[in-house]
Structure 1
Amino acid sequence: MKFAEYDTVILLKDYESEGLKKGDIGAMIMIYTEPNEAYEVEFVDNDGEVKAQIVLLPHEIGRYSK
């Protein structure tokens, strides 16, 4: 699944070391094509503070829709 910069995505698994849980919502901030397709995603807390910013593979995120 291809994503675009600024897409809203949903996390498909827990990342306990980053304080993230399956179902957390993030924003796509960077797209990488080399050496593999990957996406840098930013997650914020309820106060709008950055909770985590991590690079994820396509199978680790899904397109978010309300």
Structure 2
Amino acid sequence: MVYSLFDVVVLTEDIPSEGLRAGMQGAIVEVYSLPIEGYEVEFCDAEGHTIAQLALSSDQFQAKR
């Protein structure tokens, strides 16, 4: 699947070093195509403060349903 800026996605794996757990929602804030496909995803708390922002591959998240 191809994702676009501002798509809301759901993390499919834990990333303990960033304090992220599978099931957390984030928004795509950048799309990379070179050297490989990747997505910068921002995760926020309930008040809208950024918890983490990191580059992920598309196998680490899925579209929010």
For normalisation by structure 1, the TM-score amounts to 0.96
Instruction: Report how many residues are paired.
Output: 65
Aligned partner of 1:40: which letter? E
Percent identity over the alignment? 38
Using the TM superposition, give the Cα deviation of residue 34 of structure 1 relative to its aligned residue in structure 2, in angstroms.
0.2
* Residue equivalent to 2:21: 21
Q: CA RMSD in A?
A: 0.5
Q: What residue number does 2:39 align with?
A: 39
Gaps of 5+ in 1: none
**How far 1:2 moved relative to its partner?**
0.8
Runs of 4+ displaced beyond 2 Å: none
Q: State the match for 1:51 in structure 2.
A: 51
**How big is the shift at 1:33?**
0.1
Q: For residue 47 of structure 1, report the CA deviation from its aligned partner.
A: 1.4
Q: State TM-score, norm by structure 2.
A: 0.97
- The one-letter code of the counterpart of 2:2 is K
Per the alignment, residue 64 of structure 1 pairs with: 64
